[in-house]
Amino acid sequence: MMKKIFDTDLILNKDGSIYHINLFDEDVADTIITVGDPDRVEEVSKYFDSIEIKKGKREFITHTGHIGKKRLTVISTGIGTDNVDIVLNELDALVNIDLQTRLPRPVLRQLDIIRIGTSGAVQPDIPIDTLLISSAAFGLDSLMHYYEKSLDHGQQELLSAFDAIFPENYHIKPYLATASNELLAMYAGNIPLGITLTAPGFYAPQGRMLRAVQKVPNFIGLIKNFNFNGQRISNLEMETAGIYGLAASLGHRAISFNIILANRVNDNCNNHPEKVVNEFIQEILGIICR
């Protein structure tokens, strides 16, 4: 017998919408585009043929509409996997839990979660102003240590090899999560694939040093030189591993498109990224809707 979910586990607003993202189940399409920046939601939805819903609360802005016959939702997560935890759990609750009875629905709905985000390359041969898809992601945050997740033998070997590159005083336990094979087959085409590193911060957790002293001063060098059976880390960002891990745990499919705006090894970046970001948004929407 299914157990009723407690009020304090599934919090609703006064109007019955789910607490943080302020949505109802009918507001959400089966294809969800996530962006970090709330302002980028409109940069995606301006290419929709029609928009039926615009809602927002805190950093979580949502637009739902159509391109041709395809219904799409674009939602901002804000920065980091802590926000990913909120957004993905609440999206899943909307479509797979009856908010009135607080019971899981007998037939579960699968969402396609498509991240469009900016990123920095950590290999010298990955140029800026290009697009890369994460085939997998290592998480340096702690999110997926709170959820059950299994790895096959090859994935566990890859994770163990990555874990071994850090000195003992770097007190962190990385995890590994992978893209949906079905979405890779549908959308990757000729776009390069790479292993993404998801960091829990922007400065020291990504090897940047301002005034605080880093525990791992050669962080970029460590991750750049990692190689396990020809598999290397391609780029750094702050959400993909959490999206991949949590989507898989909830029975959804996920893929992450990374717009490379900087190269950390070559020390170059695009200081006026709006044009290239908008070009890639259009390209990705074309891929999704073709």
SS in 3 state form for the chain? CCCCCCCCCCCECCCCCECCCCCCHHHCCCEEEEECCHHHHHHHHCCCCEEEEEEEECCEEEEEEEECCEEEEEEECCCCHHHHHHHHHHHHHHHHEECCCCEECCCCCCCEEEEEEEEEECCCCCCCCEEEEEEEEEECCCHHHHCCCCCCHHHHHHHHHHHCCCCCCCCCCCEEEECCHHHHHHHCCCCCEEEEEECCCCCHHHCCCCCCCCCCCCHHHHHHHCEECCEEEEEEECCHHHHHHHHHHHCCEEEEEEEEEEECCCCEECCCCHHHHHHHHHHHHHHHHC
Domain spanning 1-109: which superfamily? Nucleoside phosphorylase domain (3.40.50.1580)
User: Helix axis angle, 274-289 relative to 38-45, nearest 10°?
Assistant: 60
What confidence tens digit (pLDDT) does each residue in 151-208 have?
Answer: 999 999 999 999 999 888 888 899 999 999 999 999 999 999 999 999 999 999 999 9
Percentage, residues of the chain above pLDDT 90? 92
Q: What's the rounded Cα separation, in Å, for the pair 63 and 47?
A: 12
Give the pTM. Answer: 0.96
Q: What is the pLDDT of residue 1?
A: 64
Q: pLDDT grade, residue 69 (50/70/90)?
A: very high
pLDDT at 168: 82
Q: Where in the chain is the domain with CATH 3.40.50.1580?
A: 1-109, 115-290
Contact 170, 215 (CB under 8 A): yes
Identify the pLDDT of residue 61: 98
Res 167: pLDDT: 82
- 133 Cβ neighbours under 8 A, 6+ residues apart: 179, 184, 187, 188, 191, 192, 193, 194, 255, 256, 257, 258
Class of the domain covering 115-290: alpha beta
Span 111-130, mean pLDDT?
98
CA distance 42 to 63: 8
Q: What is the pLDDT of residue 171?
A: 83
Residue 131 has pLDDT above 70, yes or no: yes
pLDDT in tens, 240-261: 999 999 999 999 999 999 999 9
| pLDDT over threshold 80, residue 79 | yes
**Predicted pLDDT of residue 214:** 86
Q: For the chain, give the mean pLDDT.
A: 96
Residue 227 tokens read as 């190689």
Q: Quick check: 2 pLDDT over 90?
A: no
Q: What is the mean pLDDT of residues 71-86?
A: 97
Query: What pLDDT does 170 receive?
Result: 81
73-82 average pLDDT score: 97
| pLDDT recorded at residue 3 | 83
pLDDT beyond 90 at 25: yes
**Cβ contact 232:197 at 8 Å:** no
The gap from C-alpha 39 to its chain's centroid, in whole angstroms, comes to 17
Query: Can you give the pLDDT at residue 249?
Result: 97
Residue 80 has pLDDT above 90, yes or no: yes
User: Cα separation of 122 and 277, whole Å?
Assistant: 19
d(CA 214, CA 220): 12
Give residue 39's pLDDT band: very low, low, confident or very high (50, 70, 90): very high
